[in-house]
Amino acid sequence: MTPSKLPGRPHIAYQGDNLFIEACSVGDLARTHGTPLFAYSQASMADALQAYRSGFSGRKLHVCYAMKANSSLALLQFFARQGCGFDIVSGGELARVLAAGGDPSKVIFSGVGKTRPEMLQALEAGILCFNVESEAELEVLSEVASHSGHTARVSIRVNPNVDPKTHPYISTGLKGNKFGIAHERTLAAYRRAVQLPGLHVSGIDFHIGSQITDSRPFADAVDRLLDLVEQIEADGIAIEHLDFGGGLGIDYAGDTPPAADVLWQELLAKLDARGFGDRQFIIEPGRSLVGNAGLCVTEVLYLKPGEEKNFCIVDAAMNDLPRPAMYQAFHAIVPVHRSAAETSTYDVVGPVCESGDWLGRDRELAVQPGDRLAVLSAGAYCMSMASNYNTRGRAAEVLVDGAEAHLIRVRETPQDMMRAERLLTD
C-alpha cells in the first residue's frame, strides 16, 4: 500500500485511512499513552539537519540547535549525538544541555537579560561564546569573567534593522525590537570589548526573527553584517566566526520557505563573492529542525452546535498548544482515522476557561465524540511553551524511530505540579 503523504511532512502519512508517523500508527500511540500526546519523528529531524549540512558542504560549520523551540531532554540528546551544539537563552537551558549529554564547548549563550549567576555558570561550564546583546552587558560580563578568573569569548549580536516579514512578536531584527546592538553602534561596541578585561572578541552575530519564508531578509542581513565586518577588521579587530542565527520557517499552511540547502548555497555565493567563504560559520536553527517533525494527538470530547459557530471540543488546550492563542497561528488539523462521512465546519477548541482557547478556526471535519485528531507542525514552540494553566498536567511525549516509539516524557500528574508548593504551617 502506498502511503498518502502530507505536504512538507514526508514521515507523517496515511496508510489506508490511518495516520502513521514513520512506521507507528498514531491511533495505537494514543491508545497506549493517552491524549493529549506529542509524537516526534526522529527521521524528520535527521533529514532537516542534513539539509543544513548539505548546504554548507565543504565549509567550516557549527550547528547550534536553538533549543527554545523544543527543549525536551531526549530531543537534545538526539542532536548532541548528531554532533550539534546548542543555542541557549538561560541557565536552565544550559543545565538541560548538560543533563542530555551535550558538549558545553559547543554552546552559544544568547538573550538580552543574562544574569550574573548565569554568566558565571556558563563560564564555569566552558561554553563556546556569549552572544552579547547590549553595551551594558559587555561591562557586566567583563566584571564577572575577570573577577572569577575566566575569559569570556564574545560575539556581538547586531540589530541590522532588516524586516523579516513575519509576525511582530517573533521579529527580532528591527530598530524597535529589544534584541542586539544597533548597527550604528556596533563598531564602538567592538572597540570597547577589546579594551575590557576578561573578554576575548570571537565573532559577530545576527538573528532577525522566526518563521521567515523569504530568502531576501536573510540576504539583506548578510550584506549588512559583512559591511560591518569589513569596518571592524579595518579597525584592527579580528572576527573569527560569523554567526547567522536561525529563523528559517516551515510549512504550516502552504507556506513555501526555501529549503535550507538551497538558501545557504545562495547566501554562501554572496559570502564567497565578498571573500568571506572560508570563515568559521555558526547557525542556530530551531523551528526548521523540529517543527514539522511533531504532531499533537487529541481526542474529541463533545460536538457543540451553535447559531453562529459549531464547536469541536477536544482534550488538548491552549496550555498544550499555545501558538494559536498567542500568535493567532495556523496549525493543520487532520483526523487520525479518515472517514467518508459528511463534513461540517467547526472551530476546534479546548476545555480551558478562556475564549482564546482555540486550536483551529473554521475547519472542515467529519468527527464524532471519541474520535482523535492530529494537530500538525507541533514540534516547535508547543511543549517548550506549555503551561499548567487550569492545573492541567503537561502532555506525554514519544519519540518515534521507525517502528519503535520511545516514551520520553510521562504525563504530568497533579502531584507533580504541586510538589514544589507548601501549605501554611499555622
- Residues 252, 119 share a domain: yes
pTM above 0.85, yes or no: yes
- Residues 350, 301 share a domain: yes
- Residues 325, 216 share a domain: no
The DSSP call for residue 248 is B
Domain assignment present for 149? yes
The structural domain count of the chain equals 2
Catalytically annotated residue among 24, 64, 129, 353: 353
Q: List residues forming the annotated binding site for pyridoxal 5'-phosphate.
A: 247, 284-287, 381
pLDDT in tens, 367-423: 999 999 999 999 999 999 999 999 999 999 999 999 999 999 999 999 999 999 999
Domain assignment present for 308? yes
- What is the rounded CA–CA span in Å between residue 292 and residue 393? 24
- Residues 305, 363 share a domain: yes
Percent of the chain scoring above 90 in pLDDT: 82
Q: List residues forming the annotated binding site.
A: 247, 284-287, 323, 327, 354, 381
In the predicted model, is pLDDT for residue 168 greater than 90? no
Domain assignment present for 27? yes
* Range 121-148 average pLDDT: 97
Domain assignment present for 395? yes
Q: Which three cell numbers stand for residue 389?
A: 494553566
* Range 260-276 average pLDDT: 93
Q: Are 290 and 45 in contact (CB under 8 A)?
A: yes
- Residues 269, 134 share a domain: yes
- Residues 253, 217 share a domain: yes
Q: Which three cell numbers stand for residue 212?
A: 521567515
Q: Is 353 a catalytic residue?
A: yes
Predicted pLDDT at 247: 86
Q: Which residue, chain included where needed, has cell 572560508?
A: 278
Domain end (from 285, 309, 331): 285
- Residues 241, 184 share a domain: yes
Backbone CA torsion sign across 217, 331, 401, 337: negative
* Range 282-294 average pLDDT: 96
Domain carrying residue 193? 110-285
Domain assignment present for 89? no
CA dihedral 407, 411, 415, 418 (to 10 degrees): 110
* CATH code: domain of residue 340: 2.40.37.10
